[in-house]
Amino acid sequence: MALSRSGVPPAPDSGDLLLVAAGDDAALTRLVARWRQPVFALFERTREPSAATEATVMTFERLVLTAPRYAPELPFPAFLWNVVAKVVQDAKPGEVLEIPAPKLAESVSARTAFVRSAIAALPAGERSAFLLTRVARLSVAAAAEVLGVSETEVRRRLVRALESLRVHLRPLLEASGAPSALAGPDATDRGAPRPGRPPAAAS
C-alpha cells in the first residue's frame, strides 16, 4: 500500500491512482470500474453515446498520463473531474439544432438531441461549470476548486449558461412545464451528493 506524505494510507481511489502511477494495470481497472459510468454520463449530455464513450476513454488515458503528478493529499474526485473538465473545454462549441416543434413533441430522440446540442453550444467555461454542477453534482465550491477559479466566477458562468439554455430550450420547457433542470446556481449546494461518494460500478 502506497502511503501519503503524512504516513496515513490514502483512500481507495487515491491509493489506486498512486498504483497506476507505478504502472499497476489492475489498479487502473478498478478506477475505471468505479468511475466510468459517472464520467460517461457527463459526456453523454453533449455527445452521442459513441462520442461520449470516446471522450470517456480519452479521460482515463489522460488520467494515466497525469497520475505521476498526483499528490494524495488532493481528493481523487477533484483530480479526476479536473481531467474531465479539460476534455470538455477542448471541444469547440457546436450549433443548436433546429428541430420543428411537432418533431420535438412526438420524438424522445429528437428532444434528447435538441438538449444535447443546446448544452454543447455553450462556451467552454460555461459548459464545464454547468456539467460539473448539474451532471456530476459537484457543489459550487467543489467546481471552483476543479476549475481553478473563484466560486463567484463559477456562479457567473452558471448564470450565463442557464440564461442561454432558457433561450434555446424555451419551446421544450414550455411544452414540458418542467424548468427545474435549469434551477439557479446554488441548487447543487442544497442536499446534492458531494464528490468522493462512491459511484455505482459500471456493469
Where along the chain do its domains lie? 1-91, 93-195
pTM of the model: 0.81
pLDDT digits (tens, 9 = 90+) for 84-96: 999 999 999 999 9
1-91 is a CATH 3.40.190.290 domain: no
- Positions of the chain with pLDDT lower than 50, given as ranges: 1-8, 179-181, 187-188, 190-203
Q: What cell does 171 get?
A: 419551446
Domain topology for 93-195: Arc Repressor Mutant, subunit A (1.10.10)
In terms of Cβ atoms closer than 10 Å to its own Cβ (0-12, 13-18, 19+), residue 26 is: exposed
| CA angle, 195 then 199 then 201, to 5° | 155
Contacts of 23 (CB under 8 A, 6+ apart): none
